[in-house]
Amino acid sequence: MKDLAQTIAVNIDKLTRRRFELTNITIDPEGLARRCPLDNGRPQSTTTTINTTLGTLDALPLELLHDVLLQLDLQSLTTLRAVNRYARCSIDGLHKYKTIIGHAPNVLRAALAVGAAAWISCNTLYAILCNPSCSHCRDFGAFFYLLSGERVCFLCLSDHRDFLPLTEVRARDEYGLSRKDFRELQSITTLPGMYSVRALLRRKRMSLVDRRAAQTAGIKLHGSSLEMELFVDEQRYQMTDRYEKKVEKMPWARIRKPSCPPYTVEFDEYSCNPLRFMATVRVPLIKAQTGIVQWGFSCQGCVKSDGQRRGIRQLDWRRMFSLDGYVDHVKDCPHSLETIDSLSTSDTDIHLSRPSQIAKTS
């Protein structure tokens, strides 16, 4: 096992593929840098002393003060940091905050830009950056889902219903929520950009909510899941009836029909649906003990296995791994094992040929 891990570590570039294109299907990092610049790298003057304070927070012991700051949501922490130089130095000195700024500044930028920073604390974000697992399937999660503050993998983000956020129209149609109910939920305001594997352009900003939160609110509003479903069915029946009557009254409806009810329009296109990626940002894995940063990679052997087309998830080339996760995955990927065997054989041949080469030269 140790020899296998060493062989993989040495030949990782030959066995895997780094998914640089995934950065471009979510919130654009270059756009984030323009829209939400951070001043953490700005040099500070060392000639003047800091005469400002944190007010009543100065009465707390330093360790307790750090614990309080780390439990603040990112929006409050950023606001407090802008109060004065002493607050700025106190927050910049936090190890977890410094790690986030150093290795994942775009996560902070994205949370602030879309409004998700109000419910994500510094402690929570740091813990997610240090945990490689997808919250749903335990694979390596290369993305951060801002609406619920979860690390998620590409397959779950593309295919799972829970990670398809809802607009106001969809929340009303699927769970019977009014505009007032929708606005009471945690929501983000999306940014213009190119989203999904098809790089679809979205120019307008829109409000999105988490599907699970909308479903919970709908059940609470109507009393039970059954009552909610009955209400939605009745609502859809009324919408269809109004639509049909509208078509009958329009003499030109055969040429150009009025807009269909929202539930009749095809909605989810999985990895091609831009809504799935408008609430996400790419995140690395940070090893807390060593400080090593990994962005994950895909298996080259799985591309040859064609697991996606055959419906075999463990051989799906879209899965991503950390270095430790890839070592465990190799046992289930025959093409990767063949490649490793060929690499080991070539290395052995090189070592065996060296004595004869030395003898010839002497």
In 52-149 the beta strands, taken as DSSP E runs, fall at 143-145
Q: Which residues pair with 284 in a beta bridge?
A: none
Distance of CA 192 to the CA centre of its chain: 17
User: Which pLDDT score, from 0 to 100, does residue 218 have?
Assistant: 96
Cα–Cα distance between 100 and 108 in angstroms, integer?
Answer: 8
* Digit-coded pLDDT (tens) for 165-201: 999 989 998 999 999 999 999 999 999 999 998 889 9
Contacts of 297 (CB under 8 A, 6+ apart): 12, 16, 17, 18, 19, 320, 321, 326
**What's the whole-number average pLDDT of the chain?**
85
pLDDT at residue 182 in the model: 95
The lowest-confidence range among 22-26, 96-100, 136-140 is 22-26
pLDDT at 338: 87
Amino acid at 145: Y
Contact 166, 209 (CB under 8 A): yes
Place of tokens 């069915």: 233
Exposed e or buried b per residue across 74-109, where buried means at least 16 C-beta atoms within 10 angstroms of its C-beta: bbebbebbeebebbbebbeebebbebbbeebbbbbb
The candidate with the shortest Cα–Cα distance to 183, out of 267, 276, 115, is 115
CA–CA dist 141, 132 (Å, integer): 6
Q: Return phi, psi of residue 198, to 5°.
A: -90, 0
Report pLDDT for 349: 47
- β-strand partners of 189: 207
pLDDT (tens digit per residue) in 298-329:
998 888 887 777 778 888 889 999 988 998 89
Instruction: For residue 303, count CB atoms less than 10 angstroms from its CB and return exposed for 0-12, middle for 13-18, buried for 19 or more.
Output: middle
Backbone angles phi, psi at 351, to 5 degrees: -65, -35
Using the predicted structure, report yes or no on whether residue 257 has a pLDDT greater than 80.
no
Tokens (6 digits) for 23? 């950065």
pLDDT of 256 > 80? The answer is no
What pLDDT does residue 352 have? 34
Contact 82, 74 (CB under 8 A): no
Which of 120 and 23 is assigned the larger pLDDT? 120
Instruction: State the pLDDT confidence band at 43, using cuts at 50, 70 and 90.
Output: low
For residues 83 and 80, what is the distance between their CA atoms, to the nearest angstrom? Answer: 5
Q: Using CA atoms, how far apart are residues 300 and 46, in angstroms rounded to an integer?
A: 51
